Amino acid sequence: MAKLELQNLAKAYSRDIVPVKQLNLVVEDNEFLTLVGPSGCGKSTILRLIAGLDQPTEGRVMIGDRDVSPLPPGDRNIAMVFQSYALYPHMTVRDNVASGLKLRHLPAGDIQKRVQEVSGVLGLDPLLDRKPAKLSGGQRQRVALARALVRNPDVFLLDEPLSNLDALLREQVRADLKQIFADQKSPIVYVTHDQTEAMTLSTKVAVLNNGYLQQLGHPHDIYKTPANRFVASFIGSPQMNLVTLSRTGNTVTLSDFTIPLPIGIQAASVVLGIRPEHLRLPREGDAHTVSGQVFLVENLGMHDLVSLRVQGDPTLTLRALLPADAAWSRENLQLALPPESIHWFDGDTEQRLTT
């Protein structure tokens, strides 16, 4: 078992196309790191750099205490699951799973034993002699997983392994994945643009944008204290409400409503962020409330996602997640902003202001 370490990793295709910039990351044993970010944020490139499929322009990839940067992919002892599964179409499932072991000249008995073990765990036994063409999408996905698991690699890499599955199956496989990888000791790096996968599977999430690491932390911390405006808007669904406000003294005004700033904030302009699920109907003793007219209600089953125009400023809209059974008025809905749920960001640097 070995930890994976990325040191000053950078990749540039040309002077203007730099998908990865100065990345430092450590993934320990038993850690499940998810790289999450919008398309083009460099997350897949990072995975390819770790795998050795692309060469970094700068920096090193360390597995254990070994610098694997100069090694070809096959000598790094990593396993990778591709989005397209990339099963060899002319081989049976058994050969697909065993191919990596055969290349390493393991004794035939050992290979068979390991294939049996993995196929048992993944329920592939009845499929072992079929060709990939005869498998459903979910089955192919499991074969791709089996091919990675059977290798007992030092590092697992998974590149959006669920995005080719339909929604129902994806949820189920996501749960399976979590169980399967809970038993694995090796570090796991998982790439996705789906924040649900990131939140549910990982012990650590790295949010990326424009080639830079925006925040690294436990999923809970990233949700609770996003490091900057980008992370705040990217993590969490429905999206966080983010409103740029100018300050007057130690308060900001949200249209007709005045909200005091926490002590110690120096920034000239601030961004107020509050998640829709933290806006609620006012109770006795709520200090800060806003009201406005509801113009859209989206029924999500358990909750209603309510969009309202803040009174006094028609360009200012907020979205709130309210319990479906709550009673409220469309014309004049009052919402409370619990101070502990408000995130403040610097309007210029977009960095988080409160801790």
Indicate the residue among 85 and 223 with the shorter CB distance to another protein.
Answer: 85
Rg (CA), the chain: 24
Rounded to whole angstroms, the Cα distance separating 162 from 143 reads 13
Q: Which of 234, 334, 221, 239 is nearest to 277 (CA)?
A: 239
C-alpha distances (whole Å) from 49 to each of 9, 68, 168, 216, 321 are 9, 10, 32, 19, 40
Task: In angstroms, give the least distance from the CB of 81 to another protein.
Answer: 9
Binding interface with another protein (CB under 8 A): 48, 51-53, 72-75, 78-80, 82-90, 99-100, 103-104, 131-138, 140-141, 147, 151, 164-165
Indicate the residue among 150 and 213 with the shorter CB distance to another protein.
Answer: 150
Task: In angstroms, give the least distance from the CB of 135 to another protein.
Answer: 8
Task: In angstroms, give the least distance from the CB of 70 to another protein.
Answer: 15
Q: Which amino acid is at 41?
A: C
DSSP, collapsed to helix, strand or coil, labels residue 335 as strand
According to DSSP, the β-strands at 251-254 and 257-260 are antiparallel
Task: In angstroms, give the least distance from the CB of 132 to another protein.
Answer: 5
Indicate the residue among 131 and 178 with the shorter CB distance to another protein.
Answer: 131
Q: Which residue has the tokens 């091919």?
A: 147
Q: Which residue has the tokens 């999206």?
A: 239
Indicate the residue among 104 and 220 with the shorter CB distance to another protein.
Answer: 104
Task: In angstroms, give the least distance from the CB of 204 to another protein.
Answer: 23
Task: In angstroms, give the least distance from the CB of 85 to another protein.
Answer: 6
> Mutual orientation of helices 137-149 and 108-122 as an angle, nearest 10°?
140
Indicate the residue among 74 and 339 with the shorter CB distance to another protein.
Answer: 74
**Which residues, 6+ apart, have CB-to-CB distance to 257 below 8 Å?**
288, 289, 290, 310
Q: Which helix (H) or strand (E) holds 4?
A: strand 4-11
Indicate the residue among 135 and 308 with the shorter CB distance to another protein.
Answer: 135
